[in-house]
Structure 1
Amino acid sequence: MTIRLDNVQGFGKDGMDAAMKSFGAVSQSMQAIAAETADYSKKTFEHGAEVLEKILGAKSLDKAVELQSDYLKASYESFIAQSNKMSELYADLAKEIYKPFEGLVGKFPATPFAGQTGS
Structure 2
Amino acid sequence: MMNFDSTSKMNKEVMDNMLTTMSAMTKGFQQIAAEATEYSKKSYEDSAATVEKLVSAKSLDKAIEIQTDYAKTSYETFVAQATKMSELYADLAKEAYKPFEVAASKVAA
TM-score range, shorter chain: over 0.9
In structure 1, the partner of 2:61 is: 62
Give 1 or 2: higher helix fraction: 2
Ranges of 4+ aligned residues in structure 1 off by more than 2 Å? 106-110
In structure 1, the partner of 2:77 is: 78
6-15 or 32-41, which moves further after superposition? Answer: 6-15
- C-alpha deviation, 1:109, in angstroms: 6.9
Q: 1:4 to 1:78 in 2, by over 3 A?
A: same
Query: Structure 2: 5+ residue runs without aligned partners?
Result: none
CA distance in 2, matches of 1:69, 1:10: 63
Bigger-Rg structure (1/2): 1
Q: 1:109 to 1:68 in 2, by over 3 A?
A: closer
TM-score by length of 1: 0.86
TM-score by length of 2: 0.93
6-15 or 100-109, which moves further after superposition? Answer: 100-109
In structure 1, the partner of 2:52 is: 53
Identity of counterpart residues, as a percentage? Answer: 51
Q: 1:39 to 1:109 in 2, by over 3 A?
A: closer
Q: Aligned residues, how many?
A: 108
CA-to-aligned-CA distance 1:69-119 (integer Å, 9 cap, x gap) = 000000000000000000000000000100111221133378xxxxxxxxx
CA-to-aligned-CA distance 1:20-62 (integer Å, 9 cap, x gap) = 0111111111111100000000000000000011001100011
Query: Structure 1: 5+ residue runs without aligned partners?
Result: 111-119
In structure 1, the partner of 2:8 is: 9
Larger RCO, structures 1/2 (Cα 8 Å, 6+ apart): 1
In structure 2, the partner of 1:92 is: 91
